[in-house]
Amino acid sequence: MIRRLAIVGVGLLGGSVAKAARARGLAGEVVGVGRDASRLAPALAEGVLDRATTDVAAGVSDADLVLLAVPVLAIERLLPAVWRAAGDGAVVTDVGSTKRDIVRAAERLAEARPLAFVGGHPMAGSERSGYGVARADLFQGATVIVTPTDRTEPRAVKTVSGLWEALGARVAALDPESHDQAVAAVSHLPHLVACALMDGVARHAAEALPFAARGFRDTTRIAASDPDVWTEIFLANRDALRALLADFRRSLEALDGLLAAGGADALRAALARIRAAREGLA
């Protein structure tokens, strides 16, 4: 059991961790930290949080485990305050969708004051945001990536991995650079493509939207996500994302070439190859 768990940002991810930790009895006390007391009130009223505060230092000062569950640029901004206020034995982690810059910032702070930190990223979520859509089962069966480096304390990896496993997740480890490249491919690029598809149809074939069925709605669902959150993610991982976007353009151009050529056999072969790759997903 975690004696005191401090969650900075009690939205979809932070709220889901709080709900799951409460439901599974993983923490003696759960403290929520946020900018707006009114947004923390529902979790407090439901008994998901034992205590809530808008003061980061007060919220994390005596925590065993601090979880930063805010957008990626906010994580970087908050790290110095957390570093100053957290106790010597605390473990700090996060849920950011990019890891390179966050881990680098934490390691710079650790040069002045050693504190146990390991980056984390649950591959779970929703196009909706906020505590109102938080779920205790959000991480059940999901993959969570931790991103230790050669400077990470083994204790931090063990503590953070143990938390996610206790919440029902499968834990994998990648270095921060490899993590950012991987999620650029399987998370950030698909999100950008969904946005481009929705934008293309909305701007150039809006008259067709009333007839959109499940396929279009499923494909573009994530385009309804929070623009502020995804602006930060795209910019934080723009190098890896732009490299993959160039590859994606080549794939589109190849399919466009097959359409222009009009040959059914070549197009069918390409579609069969793509189908086989998709069916290979576990």
Q: Which amino acid is at 127?
A: E
**Dihedrals φ, ψ of 201, to 5°?**
-70, -45
How many other C-beta atoms can be found within 10 angstroms of the C-beta atom of residue 51?
Answer: 15
What is the domain partition of the chain in residue ranges? Answer: 2-174, 179-279
pLDDT band at 3 (very low <50, low <70, confident <90, very high): very high
Asked if pLDDT for residue 74 goes beyond 90, the answer is: yes
Work out the mean pLDDT of the chain and round it to a whole number. 96
How many other C-beta atoms can be found within 10 angstroms of the C-beta atom of residue 197?
Answer: 14
Model confidence pLDDT, tens digit, residues 131-154: 999 999 999 999 999 999 999 999
Tell me what the mean pLDDT of segment 62-83 comes to. Answer: 96
**Looking at residue 78, what is its pLDDT?**
97
Through-space distance between the first and last CA atoms of the chain, rounded to whole angstroms: 33
Asked if pLDDT for residue 222 goes beyond 90, the answer is: yes
**Looking at residue 214, what is its pLDDT?**
95
* Domain covering 179-279 in this structure, CATH number: 1.10.3660.10
Based on DSSP, count helices (H) and strands (E) in the chain, helices before strands.
12, 9
**Looking at residue 1, what is its pLDDT?**
80
pTM (whole model) above 0.85: yes
**Looking at residue 128, what is its pLDDT?**
80
The SS3 call for residue 90 is coil
CA–CA separation, 253 and 49 (whole Å): 51
Q: Do residues 102 and 94 make contact, with C-beta atoms less than 8 angstroms apart?
A: yes
Q: Do residues 71 and 226 make contact, with C-beta atoms less than 8 angstroms apart?
A: no
Q: Do residues 150 and 177 make contact, with C-beta atoms less than 8 angstroms apart?
A: no
**Looking at residue 23, what is its pLDDT?**
95
**Looking at residue 225, what is its pLDDT?**
92
Looking at the domain 2-174, which fold is it? Answer: Rossmann fold (3.40.50)
Q: Please give the structure tokens belonging to residue 169.
A: 């997740």
Tell me what the mean pLDDT of segment 10-33 comes to. Answer: 97
Q: Which amino acid is at 148?
A: P
Model confidence pLDDT, tens digit, residues 251-269: 999 999 999 999 999 999 9
In degrees, rounded to 5, the angle at the alpha carbon of residue 96 between the alpha carbons of residues 45 and 243 is: 150
Asked if pLDDT for residue 187 goes beyond 90, the answer is: yes
Tell me what the mean pLDDT of segment 43-62 comes to. Answer: 96
Q: Is 18 left (phi over 0), alpha (psi -120 to 50) or beta?
A: alpha
**Looking at residue 282, what is its pLDDT?**
67
pLDDT band at 87 (very low <50, low <70, confident <90, very high): very high
User: Do the domains 179-279 and 2-174 match in fold?
Assistant: no
CA–CA separation, 147 and 162 (whole Å): 14
In degrees, rounded to 5, the angle at the alpha carbon of residue 232 between the alpha carbons of residues 226 and 237 is: 125
Closest CA to 162 of 282, 30, 24: 24
pLDDT band at 127 (very low <50, low <70, confident <90, very high): confident
